[in-house]
A and B are shown apart, each in its own frame.
Chain A
Amino acid sequence: MTHIHDHHHPRPGSAVELRARALETLLAERGLVSTDAIDAVVELYEHDVGPQNGAKVVARAWVDERYRERLLSAANEAIAELGFGGAEGDNMVVVANTPAMHNMVVCTLCSCYPWPVLGLPPSWYKSPPDRARAVSEPGAVLREFGLELGEDVAIRVWDSSAEVRYLVLPMRPRETDGWSENELAAIVTRDCMIGTGVPVARETAIP
């Protein structure tokens, strides 16, 4: 998803906007770009980035027990089945939340992140103090994200590295019986898959 700040109504055709249009026209005339190709890239960036790929993986695991088993035992292969992965998504390990155990992923040394399945990392992921606190006091950090876990729920923090990148498989909300895979994927956010949130069955997503 992309933030378009529509409330910020610019006067029509600011100088820089006109310049952008003029450059596009010139490049199109020279055959260096095509409007269609630019449309396709803009569309791709607006809709194909972010955590949708990972959300589809989670939704499949929720509806298909055998896929879930494959995902937890050999994540790379299972993710590749859905056509995702490559590059920074290599060496994925998927860890499943249970009623007794909540998983959270951080990276204390660098900011390794599985781009192909999760899209862009949240900004706090790159902030050293935040990363350190996630390890030393995960419960407090999660509360700051608005996630209150029961006292009987243990929190396990996974330290992502250049070798292994983790993805949290959240628990499917009880209220989602009968939902389609697409409807399920729509409630899986990036935060769910790094363990700083849990999926919430939104009424708007009910068919």
Chain B
Amino acid sequence: MSVGASGLATVDRALGAETPLPRDNGELVFDEPWQGRALGMGVVALEGTGASWAEFRRHLAAAIAARPPREGESGATAYYAAWLDALEALLAERGLLNHAP
């Protein structure tokens, strides 16, 4: 398979050095399966809504700052919890999280 628009290298570059995906020796780390799914959901949702990575990264940086890792929580768990916060914030900002009409 080729590296497409949503290839991981694209995501990595979009996230930059301040909000990088958690890795161990260069490889992605997920402590629980929902974390990989949260990553995939973010990528697909951005494509579906037409939101930009710059917009998402702004929310992600804010969410990480607002949610420091809790006691006993791994870096990946804290990161992907913030990832969900960021995705919800972005969707809410775009009016996409309102209760169904």
Count of residues in A whose CB is under 8 Å from the partner chain:
48
- Which A107-145 residues sit within 8 Å CB-CB of chain B? 115-116, 119-123, 125
What separation, in Å, do the CA atoms of A60 and B45 have in the docked complex? 37
Contact B84 A23 (CB under 8 A): yes
Q: Mark B17-39, 1 if CB is under 8 A from A, else 0.
A: 00000011111111111101111
**From B45, B77, B87, contact of A16 by CB (8 A):** B77
Is A65 on the interface with B (CB-CB < 8 A)? no
What separation, in Å, do the CA atoms of A15 and B34 have in the docked complex? 11
What separation, in Å, do the CA atoms of A119 and B26 have in the docked complex? 8
Contact B37 A24 (CB under 8 A): yes
Is B54 on the interface with A (CB-CB < 8 A)? no
**From A16, A46, A190, contact of B26 by CB (8 A):** A190
Main secondary structure of the interface of B (DSSP, over half): helix
**From A20, A32, A125, A190, contact of B48 by CB (8 A):** A32
Contact B34 A41 (CB under 8 A): no
Q: A16-B81, A33-B45, A83-B2 are known contacts. Are A2 and B30 too (CB-CB below 8 A)? A: yes
- Which A39-82 residues sit within 8 Å CB-CB of chain B? 39, 41-42, 44-46, 48-50
Binding site for A on B (CB under 8 A): 1-3, 6-10, 12, 23-34, 36-41, 43-45, 48-49, 74, 77, 80-81, 84, 87-88, 91, 96-97, 100
Binding site for B on A (CB under 8 A): 1-5, 8, 10, 14, 16-17, 19-21, 23-24, 26-27, 29-34, 37-39, 41-42, 44-46, 48-50, 83-84, 86-88, 115-116, 119-123, 125, 190
20 of the cross-chain contacts (CB-CB < 8 Å) are A1-B27, A2-B28, A3-B28, A5-B32, A8-B31, A14-B32, A16-B84, A20-B37, A20-B80, A23-B88, A27-B45, A27-B48, A42-B39, A50-B27, A87-B10, A115-B3, A115-B9, A119-B8, A122-B25, A122-B26
